[in-house]
Amino acid sequence: MIVFLLLIIPFWGFLNRPVKTKVGSALKAINLQALRIPKGLYFNKNHTWSHLEKSGVASVGMDDLLLHLTGGVELSYLKEQQEKVKRGEPIARITQEGKELVITSPISGEIDKVHVSLAEDSGAINKDPYSSWLYRIRPEKWREETHDAMMSDQAFDWVGKELERFRDYMAEEFRKSTEEEMVLQEGGELSGNPLKEMDSEAWNGFQEKFLNI
């Protein structure tokens, strides 16, 4: 019996051995097809979106990729109703266990409305980031400030490139923090929200490379 156990334990360990895989491969679990990229919205390189309503007021929010990478976050607003805001100016902050990212406005104008209920129920953003707008803004330079924004197929292609760029960024961050490759169980995948497991330094780097555009 003892001999049998001595033989079967190594074999069982072989079957359940952890498989080392590069972060780039593991991040394929976050695939382009799983991300929501609605038509009719203007997507910006700072991972925000905007949509001009018939009333002349533009809704502004965060895109699905950003929220998918971070996971559950707490939201706080940096602007108030009737305040003026310029394109590229901080309008909101998302935080998670002491780590934070600052969201900047894709357009300039006067803030018509603040979606204050999201600060109390940030989970609503992850459920549908496109109905969960952050602000409604009366734009001052709509055409001028959306000429470099992306829609439809162009937005889809851009998000795909951003995913690849993020995989490269994460691989570099792991190389900085450890000499070992990331270890996953055989057949396993890295789940969504990879930034959730990263430290403040990685979040700061993400801010600089992906949000400060």
The CATH number of whichever domain residue 95 belongs to comes to 2.40.50.100
User: DSSP letters of 55-69?
Assistant: TS-EEEEE-HHHHHH
Dihedral-angle region of residue 160 (phi above 0 means left; psi in -120 to 50 means alpha; beta otherwise): alpha
Question: Does any domain span residue 100?
Answer: yes
Query: What per-residue confidence (pLDDT) applies to 193?
Result: 85
Question: Does any domain span residue 17?
Answer: no
Report how far apart, in Å, the C-alpha atoms of 25 and of each of 127, 132, 166 are: 26, 31, 12
Question: Does any domain span residue 14?
Answer: no
Would you tell me how many other CB atoms lie within 10 Å of the CB of residue 58? 23
| Domain interval for residue 107 | 23-211
**DSSP letter, residue 42:** E
Alpha-carbon torsion 158, 160, 161, 167, what sign? positive
Question: Does any domain span residue 16?
Answer: no
Query: What per-residue confidence (pLDDT) applies to 122?
Result: 73
* CA–CA distance, 195 with 210 (Å, rounded to integer): 13
Question: Does any domain span residue 13?
Answer: no
Question: Does any domain span residue 7?
Answer: no
Query: Could you tell me the strand order of the sheet in which 90-96 lies?
Result: 74-77, 90-96, 99-104
Residue by residue, pLDDT tens for the chain (213 residues) are 554 444 444 434 433 434 334 344 445 556 787 789 999 999 999 999 999 999 999 999 999 999 999 988 999 999 999 999 999 999 999 999 999 999 999 999 999 999 999 988 878 888 889 999 999 999 999 999 999 999 999 999 999 999 999 989 988 888 876 644 443 333 333 346 889 889 999 999 999 999 997
Question: Does any domain span residue 15?
Answer: no
Query: What per-residue confidence (pLDDT) applies to 7?
Result: 43
Q: How many domains does the chain have?
A: 1
Question: Does any domain span residue 82?
Answer: yes
Query: What per-residue confidence (pLDDT) applies to 189?
Result: 36
φ and ψ of 130, to 5 deg: -100, -15
Query: What per-residue confidence (pLDDT) applies to 88?
Result: 97
